[in-house]
Amino acid sequence: MMFGLKRVKTMIEWLKVIKRHIVAVVHKVQVAYRVRRLRTRLVQLNTTVKSEQPTRRIVLITLIEHLGDIVACEPIAREVRARHPNDYLVWMVRQRYRELLDYNPFIDAILTVECITEWINIRSERLYDVAIELHLRDHECWICKVPLTKESGEISMANYFHFGALLPVFSQSAGLPPLTDPPRLYVPKQVAERVSALHLPKPFIALHAVSNEKTKDWQRAKWVELVEKIETAYETCTVEIGHASVLPKRHRRFNYCKRLSILETAELIRTAVLFIGVDSGPAHLANAVETFGIILLGKHRDFQRYMPYTGGYADGTNADLIYSSTAPADIAVERVFRAVECRLNAALKPHLSNS
């Protein structure tokens, strides 16, 4: 019996290896195709821009992922536009994050890719005039494993939070000054109308519990305990966002996980009385739309205590950052609830007095 079980486990491991190999081969073919397509698009862009105004330069900002990084780096578009007021400003990004840039008034065009290797393969061809390379040294696709190299600069994927928050880190990596401006988000009227049409009862708390790195997450049981304490003390609803829910279904709880676009999520957060979450993309959205945040942070990789944000989330005027010297999962519920009380006792006074 044990021998048979070992054979099954061995077969499963082999199947996993084969699957990874197939995924890598398919991805490599897709990358080759997309590189050719990207080259064509850049050539066409050059032709179009230069034919209209021969002296106009194409300035290419490259930061293809992730949600929080792109939101945090929004001020770079403003800085680059100020430096290149008459040039053609293009931002290269993954398709899934494009909507973060679609309505940015400082950008002229967007180029979409799916893998940083596409950019690595084409950047030496100089199908642009100026490159603002925000990616950090050694950034790589999780499938391709081709690290991005930089001739100068000491900031890398291994040490970046030692140089400050995300915005000054990325701007310095690109050879810009260490910017510290708060981020902005550009949400069009039609997106705001769609969120308004949800008719969520107010006041509500926006809650984001699950990041793309488990080491950043709080414990599910603690989220449940926290929300139950809030429900007992306040007449508020809880609206979950992100890609996974942690709360059992109950009255006054709404699950909008995987149901909203990025900008819809941002607009929902904007209308919340409070945002509570882990350090992840939605926390950067909350910072950009200026909703007061309670953010749970802890040791991340080799960074004992780090600051991801600029603006009101960095200086404490619009957020309470709750740090753990170990993992965020170790933060006590009572500590978070005290922060919630401080915010809601002030924020809900007008609501209660009008009811």
Q: Model confidence at 15, in pLDDT bands (50, 70, 90)?
A: confident
DSSP run (H or E) holding 294: strand 293-297
Say yes or no to pLDDT of 3 above 70.
Answer: no
Residues 194 and 328 in one domain: yes
pLDDT of 348 higher than 70 = yes
Boundary of a domain, candidates 132, 160, 181: 181
Q: Which of 301, 62, 283 is nearest to 170 (CA)?
A: 62
Please give the average per-residue pLDDT across 321-337, as a whole number. Answer: 97
132 vs 351, more confident: 132
State the DSSP code for 202.
S
113 and 229 inside one domain: no
Residues 82 and 62 in one domain: yes
- Whether 45 is in a domain gets the answer no
Q: Which of 181, 212, 243 is the last residue of a domain?
A: 181
Q: Does 166 share its domain with 215?
A: no
Assigned domain for 38 exists: no
If asked whether residues 214 and 294 sit together in one domain, one would say yes
111 is in which domain, residue-wise? 50-181
- 160 and 223 share a domain? no
Q: What whole-number distance in Å separates Cα of residue 77 and Cα of residue 166?
A: 15
pTM value is: 0.93
pLDDT score, position 153: 77
CATH number at residue 283: 3.40.50.2000
Asked if 155 contacts 137 with a C-beta cutoff of 8 angstroms, the reply is: yes
* pLDDT tens profile 274-308: 999 999 999 999 999 999 999 999 999 889 899 99
Domain boundary among 150, 181, 212: 181
145 and 244 inside one domain: no
pLDDT of residue 341: 96
Contact 143, 24 (CB under 8 A): yes
Min mean pLDDT across 71-85, 149-163, 239-253 is at: 149-163
Same domain membership, residue 201 and residue 329: yes
Using 50, 70 and 90 to split pLDDT, how confident is the model at 61?
Answer: very high
Shared domain for 123 and 236, answered yes or no, is no
The verdict on residue 25 lying in a domain is no
Task: Tell me the C-alpha distance between 120 and 114, whole Å.
Answer: 12
Assigned domain for 167 exists:
yes
Question: Using an 8 Å Cβ cutoff, are 183 and 88 in contact?
Answer: no
If asked whether residues 329 and 200 sit together in one domain, one would say yes
CATH at 71: 3.40.50
Strand-by-strand arrangement of the 293-297 sheet: 253-255, 237-240, 204-208, 274-278, 293-297, 319-323
Structure tokens at 64: 């293809």
- Residue 288 CB coordination number (10 Å): 25
Whether 94 shows a pLDDT value over 80: the answer reads: yes
Res. 69: pLDDT tops 60: yes
17 domain residue, yes or no: no
CB atoms within 10 A of CB 119: 21
* Position 35 in a domain: no
pLDDT average, residue stretch 206-224: 96
As a whole number of angstroms, the distance between CA 235 and CA 31 comes to 52
Query: Which of the 8 DSSP states describes residue 136?
Result: P
Whether residue 161 sits in one domain with residue 279: no
Could you give the CA distance from residue 87 to residue 107 in angstroms, rounded to a whole number? 10
The mean pLDDT of the chain is 93
For residue 295, give the nearest of 303, 308, 304 by alpha carbon: 308
Q: What total number of domains does the chain contain?
A: 2
Q: Kind and range of the H or E element at 120?
A: helix 116-122
